[in-house]
A and B are shown apart, each in its own frame.
Chain A
Amino acid sequence: MIVEAQPAPQPPLRPPHPRIPEPPRRVQVSLQIDGRHVAVDEGSTILDACRSLGIDTPTLCWAPNLTPVNVCRVCVVEVEGSRALVPSCSRPVSDGMVVFTDSERVRLSRRMVLELLMSSVDVSRAPDLLAYAERYHARSDAFGARTPYGEPGSRDLARPGQSRSVPAGAAAAIVGPVKVDNELYVRDYERCILCYRCVEACGEDAQNTFAIAVAGRGFDARISTELAVSLPESACVYCGNCVAVCPTGALMAASEYSMREAGTWDESRQSATETICTYCGVGCPLVLHVQDSRIVKATSPVDSPVTHGNLCIKGRFGFEFVQALPGGR
């Protein structure tokens, strides 16, 4: 049964308990961003400070529920006194810092990062990236036609430090095939920008399963299970937390993938309903995405203090019984 979202209930009466000491006052750090002064808590990142000023900074590998890895470099800013640009997502602010988020250098680097990504992977299911590309006038064909780099599947066997050639006039692009080796999700690494989010979610930041890691090196670096075995042969527990954090649609629930391939996925016809997972006593908040009266996807809010956006296999994929009632619905 689907429970409609309720207004927050009044806090219940609690027995008296010892006073919780107030948190220590945080030291404020003041800095200047694009000529504006701002004070933020010590330990904040430049990105936090930018956001507190309403400066919209592009991010791809950063996610609110993951440790910043600063690998995509689309969030770089110019910091006075720093030779190179600085990743705003992970650099803590310091007193007196002078930051420029929209200088010529910053705009060029951001555009180039986007063009390099668009020249090597299929970004058609990466809405954020496409929006940034428009903002920074990044072209998808800046380096010639995207051309498969090797035979399908060859990437899993690539030796580190042994590059292959593509025909002249072409830009080497990541080649598949789409990996469909289980019923719950699909891995289409032709769309992978190697943001490390799935690896973090599978490992230290959420699930602690370590079924996937980055393997190989350079342009052949790839997300892989051990020896590229199929997911059922790996340590994967199908929590789908990797799917939830993927920003480009490289990882996708099988149901969504087949609807998209069939052209029936239509977010304009979808509604989101908040509920609580019915499986166990943890009480994970669920958001059920419903299209044409059928649940097509389950997620959890990233800002939920219970889940931080993570779920288990049951909460994430175990909704089919709802719509498999006798006689159908």
Chain B
Amino acid sequence: MDMHLMKAQPSDIERAALDAVEALEIPGVSGAELRRSLVLPALHALNDAVGWITPGGLEELCERLDIAPAVAYGVASFYGLFSTQPLPGVAVHVCDDVVCATLGSETLCQEIEEALGPEGSPPDGVAATWFRSPCLGQCDRGPAALVAVAGSDPPCRSHAPAEPAGLLGAVRVAVSSRETHGVAGPVPARREVAPVAGSVIPGAAELTSEAWPPAAGPAGTASPAAGPAGTGPPAAGPPVARIIARVGRVDPGSLDSYRAQGGYAALRRAVWLGPGGVLAELERSRLLGRGGAAFPTGAKWAAVAREPARPHFVVANADESEPGTFKDRLLMEGDPFALVEALTIAGYATGSELGFVYVRGEYPLATARLEDAIGQARARGLLGGDVGGHGFAFDIHVRRGAGAYVCGEETALFNSIEGFRGEPRNKPPYPTTVGLFDKPTAVNNVETLCNVLQVIALGAEAYADIGTQTSSGTRLFCVSGAVSRPGVYEEPFGVTVAEVIDHAGGTSDGQAPRAVLLGGAAGAFIGPEDLDQRLSFESARHAGLSLGSGALIVFGHDADLPSALVRIARFFRDESCGQCVPCRVGTVRQHELLERLAQGAPLGSSEADLVRLDEIAAVMRDASICGLGQAAASAAGSALARLGVFDGGST
């Protein structure tokens, strides 16, 4: 390849930002492949430093990593949190997704627009801009916003619940701080800014706020009994908190606190069992993956372990982006060492020396806590050349996503880590044989990994006794929308939808809900007559549903379902990677059709439009490359079939 560069010069800040990108050692990966794997961290470095990716910065990146500018541009322009167009140094991403929409995000957007001008184009003299954003994973305390401040550390921070005055206050602080320090200057980290911004509301955000221990209130005293992690007193119900047992009780910044609460006991037992013993234990536990596909974790790990090709990799999929889902954020913010320990066990059992955690870019606090936990584990010899003196090597790299839902698809996630566009690969081959860097890879959801600790600590039989015959263990449900106490609820499999809603304090208006969206945007709606639906993999499958990500979005009796359907359709349209025709164009046509139906202005007749919708659903489900396209029509289809939305024209 001949390098043909653009002759644009980077600034000193950009040079320094690229200097700071950590060179990596990845077993079995070298040369161009290794350099390429730095593309995403390098793009982050540039975008974090100046707020967008300038031609000069991009050029410098290309020269250092020996990558063609067109290719690097293709990657940079793929992610929603990056900009290849000039932007001021402060960018506000306001969630207007299904849940936040019911919590006042539209008012927030209007006020922000009044202050900062149209999305992405600030008027003269305004040094900040804003964008509408898909779900930010703060649905238990929306409306949510994410404020990215160039040159600050951390590069962005969450505001939830965000109200206009507080959010704009934070923006003003960030802007003036950038001005005081010169455009290049450091911006105070959140600890100083947050109180001024008024963004930390006592109570709701206790457990996951940056201060530890939480000042007062429920966090320290909350019983783990089926209570929402982080909010209010525990509700009635069986005490089943296992996965989130430590959340709110352990200091997420202290390895000692983690160990004092049983941390690293599972690793000791795993080493006592040996890799084969761990695999056998997992298979006997019948643990199924919590990311949505419900694949047996034991079988997945065993498949990787027996692959002759080396090296092997393990990956924690923490790109939690399904609208209405925030359990992995809670786990990483509240109990980060658990993920570190679980991934270490995964590495031990599958014969991998390196693990990656791919955290969505919208989770700055989870990322910081995880990085801190990994640093502490490394310093104490629990990661590195001889883990805990047990005679095996394992380390973990954290990779930040950059605003792309599709990167939660496992093969898209590999491409993203490898420095390519986050486009899913065709399967087969499956990741257990050809995964990250084309090597055998075990990729698991955060919640699944945290369950592994339970399996090892309790023993397979005791673990399998929890839940139902087919669905062993407990499940984290993210309850949001029209309930009194939104939050993460840990329940044994087999619980009913109504029971979960009860545990969350019932509907906020006390009336029966209009509908519940189970599994997030890629999930399906159920109506008020189906609230006795049992939540286990087998019962859900039997009813033509899927537990998906564990999201349970409750729509009140007066909810505007057509608008919710249009928003979900826009979500898929915005998040489609654009690779395959069924999804790239199908999601657009689906959005257009639903908009028309919601406005009562069908193209021909509503009947004809509904037939078209069905056909689009069929081609997306049948012919899309990955799960994003295959599930993109699921919510709308279920709303039409089960709830009769649009029956007799628009509703």
> Are B580 and A71 touching (Cβ within 8 A)?
yes
Partner-contacting stretch, out of A1-9, A166-174, A181-189? A166-174
Confirm or deny: B358 has a beta carbon within 8 angstroms of a beta carbon on chain A: no
Scan residues 77-120 of chain B and give those whose CB is less than 8 A from a CB of chain A. 77-80, 83-85, 119-120
Question: Would you give the shortest CB distance from B305 to chain A, in whole angstroms?
Answer: 24
Of A161, A170, A193, A215, the contact of B80 (CB 8 Å cutoff): A161
Confirm or deny: A76 has a beta carbon within 8 angstroms of a beta carbon on chain B: yes
Confirm or deny: B585 has a beta carbon within 8 angstroms of a beta carbon on chain A: yes
* Binary interface encoding of chain B residues 40-79 relative to chain A, with 1 for a CB under 8 A from any of its CBs, else 0: 0000000000000001001000000000111111100111
- A76: chain B residues at CB < 8 Å are 622-623
- A71: chain B residues at CB < 8 Å are 579-581, 625
> Are A116 and B619 touching (Cβ within 8 A)?
yes
Confirm or deny: A148 has a beta carbon within 8 angstroms of a beta carbon on chain B: no
Interface centre among A87, A91, A168, A221 (most CB of B within 10 A): A221
Interface centre among B55, B585, B603 (most CB of A within 10 A): B585
Of A119, A168, A220, A237, the contact of B595 (CB 8 Å cutoff): A168
Question: Would you give the shortest CB distance from B402 to chain A, in whole angstroms?
Answer: 10
Of B134, B587, B612, the contact of A218 (CB 8 Å cutoff): B587
Confirm or deny: B421 has a beta carbon within 8 angstroms of a beta carbon on chain A: yes
- A219: chain B residues at CB < 8 Å are 573, 576, 578, 584-585, 587-588
- A259: chain B residues at CB < 8 Å are none
Scan residues 19-54 of chain A and give those whose CB is less than 8 A from a CB of chain B. none
Say yes or no: A116-B578 contact (C-beta < 8 A), given A144-B603, A157-B85, A218-B587: no
Confirm or deny: B570 has a beta carbon within 8 angstroms of a beta carbon on chain A: yes
Confirm or deny: B234 has a beta carbon within 8 angstroms of a beta carbon on chain A: no
Give the residue name and chain of the B residue nearest to A212 (CB). B70
- A72: chain B residues at CB < 8 Å are 580-581
Roughly how many angstroms separate A74 CA and B6 CA in the complex, as a whole number? Answer: 38
Confirm or deny: A293 has a beta carbon within 8 angstroms of a beta carbon on chain B: no
Confirm or deny: B2 has a beta carbon within 8 angstroms of a beta carbon on chain A: yes
> Are B584 and A90 touching (Cβ within 8 A)?
no
Give the residue name and chain of the A residue nearest to B134 (CB). A161
Confirm or deny: B439 has a beta carbon within 8 angstroms of a beta carbon on chain A: no
Say yes or no: A194-B83 contact (C-beta < 8 A), given A168-B599, A218-B587: no
- A209: chain B residues at CB < 8 Å are 1-2, 68
Confirm or deny: B640 has a beta carbon within 8 angstroms of a beta carbon on chain A: no
Of B74, B584, B603, the contact of A215 (CB 8 Å cutoff): B74
Scan residues 594-636 of chain B and give those whose CB is less than 8 A from a CB of chain A. 595-596, 599, 601, 603, 612, 615-616, 618-619, 621-625, 630
Of A84, A109, A216, the contact of B78 (CB 8 Å cutoff): A216
Confirm or deny: A208 has a beta carbon within 8 angstroms of a beta carbon on chain B: yes
Give the residue name and chain of the A residue nearest to B617 (CB). A112
Scan residues 190-230 of chain A and give those whose CB is less than 8 A from a CB of chain B. 193-194, 203, 208-221, 224-227, 229
Confirm or deny: B4 has a beta carbon within 8 angstroms of a beta carbon on chain A: yes
Question: Would you give the shortest CB distance from B69 to chain A, in whole angstroms?
Answer: 4
Confirm or deny: B132 has a beta carbon within 8 angstroms of a beta carbon on chain A: yes
Of A221, A234, A235, the contact of B578 (CB 8 Å cutoff): A221
Roughly how many angstroms separate A217 CA and B574 CA in the complex, as a whole number? Answer: 8
Scan residues 94-122 of chain A and give those whose CB is less than 8 A from a CB of chain B. 105, 108-109, 112-113, 116-117, 119-120
> Are B592 and A227 touching (Cβ within 8 A)?
no
Question: Would you give the shortest CB distance from A76 to chain B, in whole angstroms?
Answer: 5
Confirm or deny: B577 has a beta carbon within 8 angstroms of a beta carbon on chain A: yes
- B134: chain A residues at CB < 8 Å are 161
- A194: chain B residues at CB < 8 Å are 578, 581, 584
Of B577, B591, B601, the contact of A168 (CB 8 Å cutoff): B601
- B70: chain A residues at CB < 8 Å are 210-213, 215, 224-226, 234-235
> Are B573 and A163 touching (Cβ within 8 A)?
yes
- B582: chain A residues at CB < 8 Å are 73, 109, 112-113, 116
Confirm or deny: B355 has a beta carbon within 8 angstroms of a beta carbon on chain A: no
Say yes or no: A113-B581 contact (C-beta < 8 A), given A84-B622, A160-B78, A225-B70: yes
Confirm or deny: B575 has a beta carbon within 8 angstroms of a beta carbon on chain A: yes
Confirm or deny: B586 has a beta carbon within 8 angstroms of a beta carbon on chain A: yes
- A108: chain B residues at CB < 8 Å are 615, 618-619, 622
Confirm or deny: A85 has a beta carbon within 8 angstroms of a beta carbon on chain B: yes
Give the residue name and chain of the A residue nearest to B602 (CB). A169
Roughly how many angstroms separate A214 CA and B76 CA in the complex, as a whole number? Answer: 11
Say yes or no: A227-B589 contact (C-beta < 8 A), given A84-B622, A210-B68: no
- A119: chain B residues at CB < 8 Å are 585, 589
Interface centre among B71, B85, B119, B577 (most CB of A within 10 A): B71
> Are B71 and A210 touching (Cβ within 8 A)?
yes
Roughly how many angstroms separate A162 CA and B3 CA in the complex, as a whole number? Answer: 32
Confirm or deny: B651 has a beta carbon within 8 angstroms of a beta carbon on chain A: no
Give the residue name and chain of the B residue nearest to A220 (CB). B578
Confirm or deny: B404 has a beta carbon within 8 angstroms of a beta carbon on chain A: yes
Confirm or deny: B263 has a beta carbon within 8 angstroms of a beta carbon on chain A: no
> Are A217 and B77 touching (Cβ within 8 A)?
yes
Give the residue name and chain of the B residue nearest to A76 (CB). B623
Residue positions of B touching A, CB distance < 8 A = 1-4, 6, 55, 58, 68-74, 77-80, 83-85, 119-120, 131-132, 134, 403-404, 421, 426, 428, 570, 573-582, 584-589, 591-593, 595-596, 599, 601, 603, 612, 615-616, 618-619, 621-625, 630
Contact sample, A vs B, 25 pairs, CB 8 Å cutoff: A71-B581, A72-B580, A74-B581, A85-B622, A85-B623, A91-B426, A108-B622, A109-B582, A109-B618, A113-B581, A143-B593, A157-B85, A159-B80, A162-B132, A166-B592, A168-B599, A210-B70, A213-B71, A213-B74, A216-B578, A218-B578, A218-B584, A224-B70, A226-B58, A235-B3
| Shortest 7 CB-CB contacts between residues of A and residues of B | A221-B578, A235-B4, A210-B68, A226-B69, A213-B74, A112-B619, A116-B585
Residue positions of A touching B, CB distance < 8 A = 70-74, 76, 84-85, 87, 90-91, 105, 108-109, 112-113, 116-117, 119-120, 142-144, 157, 159-163, 165-166, 168-172, 193-194, 203, 208-221, 224-227, 229, 233-235, 237
